[in-house]
Structure 1
């Protein structure tokens, strides 16, 4: 039985996805999928590539997640799962690419600059 590995990133979240043929179980940081992502919206985000590729319930996933918030983590997992599916079948690219599941969203928080209150916000001007 072969294991496939892929990495997904979003903001400061990193998802290392290990995929093998199975019954559709998803384990994240040693916890069940439903336990880790409590809201339905986050679960839908994670399962999107499996539904589009019609591979729902065909693979077991063991995912290590680090950093970021829950939304960024869910999107990192989505990218990781999409990349892992491509390792199994390269022809799925035609299905996943138009949906945007293979695009790394590189938007990050801009760093704070010196002499400023935030990244671009200036301190309040006082005339007197």
Structure 2
């Protein structure tokens, strides 16, 4: 199984993303995306690229974010 990793940046936030084929589970800093980003808007920002290419729910994603505010972290991811 191949694991894809990449880095995203926005303002002072840095997101390290590890993606592998799976059931669509997204974790942010070892917490569920619903817990880490409680607002729907931030969750939509994180999931938007997957929906755009039509693979939403096809990959398990582990995101490690650091720095900045919550909005910058969501946009970096």
Same fold (TM over 0.5): yes
Runs of 4+ aligned residues of structure 1 deviating over 4 Å after TM superposition are none
1:13 is matched with which residue?
A: 13
Q: Which has the higher strand share?
A: 2
Q: Which runs of 5+ in 1 are unaligned?
A: 78-128
Kindly name which structure, 1 or 2, has the bigger radius of gyration based on alpha carbons. 1
CA RMSD of aligned residues (A): 0.5
Q: Distance in 1 between matches of 2:47 and 2:40?
A: 11
* TM score, norm. by length of structure 1: 0.59
1:61 is matched with which residue?
A: 61
| Alignment size in residue pairs | 77
Superposed CA offset, 1:16-37 (max 9, x none) = 0000000000011110010000
Q: Which has the higher contact order (CA 8 A, sep 6+)?
A: 2
Q: Which runs of 5+ in 2 are unaligned?
A: none
Secondary structure in structure 1 of the residue aligned to 2:42: helix
